[in-house]
């Protein structure tokens, strides 16, 4: 693939108000107009380059949105106070009461809860399907379906969506294909595969320092204009607006994303191979044993690797908890939810980030009790990290001494 997302970010040249190398931060909630007529035109959406009120847009938020649109290769983008803010606004913008959604069943727990428990209050129903089985996706589509929803690499099972084929399916049935690309920024460019709307939680890899929440919707100018419409736009009216100070700091972190993703992927690949070599049940898209390894390879922008997320199954929740506590104790990472941090983070999704999913459904989708999800950090010496992790596993009899 010839799409070069990091070059697109690199090539953005923004000057600050006083010639600063970073764009100036717009520290205002409201903006003056020199003429009353321009204020009226701005409300009507007809005055380009004029700012109205910071829930609508701010210069800092537009800079960040423009950079993320460049990364994903979409016309434009709108940033939000959180990933859930972005997801909720896309779904409620497209769907009205009586509409239907077909969604992957392995998605972020908050998204799952929103579709299963919240949008149902507005008579928007969702069918959850195995996104890797195109036939079951297609057979769930009805005349009321508006959205086909999935994650490019799913949380926490790391299933990979065949976005080019899903895009053809969406086109055939006149649906919007909405993809959450939080787990694979730079590695996968969904819009280049035909996806209509690309969402990120900026909280994770893109910001990368676990100091803020944020979200973005990358899409066509027409859809983003709809989201921001003062009369019926979900972004404008639901109000999950990002603060300009945060937009400025996330934009600075975005500038180093390509280097961080390469290191996250390199370290995760190293550990995944070693864990699998020890006989641990390991899931990582970079392993040949992963059911969608070839698909990921065919879609990826190669130099960014297979991402920083991997899972192992240590048999039971008790073992998983013991191991995570010991690894934290040995300073190998934090027992914490979230991902994309410079230190390794680990959690047991069944009892935390995916606990919104009922236990029988967890079992059906292969989300076992002993599953540990790792977001691998930027460790300079990953071999040292591995040796220490192995020692923890031996100590707790997760590994037999002989195999180790």
Question: What residues make contact with ligand PLP under the rule CB under 6 A?
Answer: 82-84, 108, 110-111, 151, 155, 180, 182-183, 201, 203-204, 213, 215
Nearer to ligand PLP (CB atom), residue 335 or residue 392: 335
The residue at minimum Cβ distance from ligand PLP is 83
Rounded least distance, CB 362 to ligand PLP, Å: 17
Rounded least distance, CB 191 to ligand PLP, Å: 17
Side-chain-side CA neighbours of 371 within 13 Å: the count stands at 24
Nearer to ligand PLP (CB atom), residue 114 or residue 386: 114
Mutual angle of helices 59-72 and 244-254, in 10-degree steps: 30
DSSP letter for each residue of 303-342 = GGTT-SEEEEE-SSHHHHHHHHHHHHHTTS-EE-S----S
Residue 397: how many other CB atoms lie within 10 Å: 11
Rounded least distance, CB 352 to ligand PLP, Å: 12
Rounded least distance, CB 86 to ligand PLP, Å: 8
Spatial neighbors of 344 by CB under 8 A, at least 6 apart, are: 332, 333, 334, 374, 375, 376, 377, 379, 385
Side-chain-side CA neighbours of 319 within 13 Å: the count stands at 18
Nearer to ligand PLP (CB atom), residue 213 or residue 271: 213
Rounded least distance, CB 197 to ligand PLP, Å: 14
Nearer to ligand PLP (CB atom), residue 332 or residue 345: 345
Nearer to ligand PLP (CB atom), residue 111 or residue 189: 111
- Cβ atoms of 268 and 310 closer than 8 Å: yes
Residue 16: how many other CB atoms lie within 10 Å: 11
Q: Which two tokens stand for residue 322?
A: 């013991």
Rounded least distance, CB 312 to ligand PLP, Å: 19
Rounded least distance, CB 304 to ligand PLP, Å: 17
Rounded least distance, CB 31 to ligand PLP, Å: 27
- Alpha-helical regions (H) of 120-256: 134-140, 163-172, 221-228, 234-238, 244-254
Spatial separation of the C-alpha atoms in residues 375 and 341, rounded to whole Å: 8
Rounded least distance, CB 395 to ligand PLP, Å: 31
Taking Cα atoms as reference points, which of 345, 375, 343, 340 lies closest to residue 257? 340
200 in helix, strand or coil? strand
Nearer to ligand PLP (CB atom), residue 204 or residue 319: 204
Q: Which two tokens stand for residue 284?
A: 């990582």
Cis status of the peptide bond prior to 362, with omega within 30 of 0: no
Nearer to ligand PLP (CB atom), residue 151 or residue 159: 151
Nearer to ligand PLP (CB atom), residue 159 or residue 180: 180
- Cβ atoms of 313 and 157 closer than 8 Å: no
Spatial separation of the C-alpha atoms in residues 254 and 251, rounded to whole Å: 5
Rounded least distance, CB 269 to ligand PLP, Å: 20
Nearer to ligand PLP (CB atom), residue 24 or residue 253: 253
Taking Cα atoms as reference points, which of 287, 290, 348, 345 lies closest to residue 317? 348
Q: Which two tokens stand for residue 260?
A: 């961080």
Nearer to ligand PLP (CB atom), residue 153 or residue 278: 153
């Amino acid at each position: 693939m010839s799409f070069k997302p990091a070059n697109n970010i690199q090539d953005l040249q923004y000057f600050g108000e006083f010639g600063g190398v970073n764009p100036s931060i717009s520290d205002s909630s409201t903006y003056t107009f020199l003429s009353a007529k321009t204020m009226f035109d701005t409300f009507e959406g007809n005055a380009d380059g004029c700012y109205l009120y910071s829930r609508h847009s701010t210069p800092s938020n537009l800079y960040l949105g423009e950079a993320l649109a460049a990364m994903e290769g979409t016309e434009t983008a709108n940033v939000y106070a959180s990933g859930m803010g972005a997801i909720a606004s896309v779904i409620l913008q497209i769907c009205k009461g009586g509409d239907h959604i077909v969604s992957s069943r392995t998605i972020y727990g908050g998204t799952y809860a929103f579709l299963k428990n919240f949008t149902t209050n507005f008579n928007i129903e969702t069918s959850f399907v195995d996104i890797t089985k195109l036939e079951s996706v297609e057979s769930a589509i009805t005349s009321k379906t508006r959205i086909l929803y999935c994650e490019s690499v799913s949380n926490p099972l790391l299933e990979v969506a065949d976005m080019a084929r899903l895009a053809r399916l969406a086109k055939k049935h006149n649906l919007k294909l909405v993809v959450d690309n939080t787990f694979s920024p730079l590695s996968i460019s969904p819009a280049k595969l035909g996806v209509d709307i690309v969402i990120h939680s900026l909280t994770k890899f893109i910001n990368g320092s676990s100091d803020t929440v944020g979200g973005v919707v990358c899409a066509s100018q027409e859809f983003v204009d709809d989201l921001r419409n003062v009369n019926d736009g979900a972004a404008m009216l639901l109000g999950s607006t990002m603060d300009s100070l945060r937009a400025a700091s996330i934009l600075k972190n975005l500038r180093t994303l390509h280097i961080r993703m390469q290191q996250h992927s390199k370290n995760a690949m190293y550990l995944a191979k070693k864990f699998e070599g020890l006989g641990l049940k390991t899931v990582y898209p970079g392993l040949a044993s992963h059911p969608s390894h070839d698909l990921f390879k065919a879609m990826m922008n190669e130099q960014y690797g297979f991402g920083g997320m991997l899972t192992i199954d240590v048999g039971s929740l008790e073992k998983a908890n013991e191991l995570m506590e010991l690894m934290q104790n040995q300073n190998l990472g934090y027992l914490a939810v979230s991902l994309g941090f410079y230190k390794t983070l680990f959690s047991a999704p069944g009892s935390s980030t995916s606990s919104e999913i009922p236990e029988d459904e967890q079992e059906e989708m292969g989300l076992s009790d002993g599953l540990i999800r790792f977001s691998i950090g930027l460790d300079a010496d990953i071999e040292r990290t591995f040796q220490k992790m192995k020692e923890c596993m031996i100590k707790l009899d997760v590994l037999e001494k002989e195999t180790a």
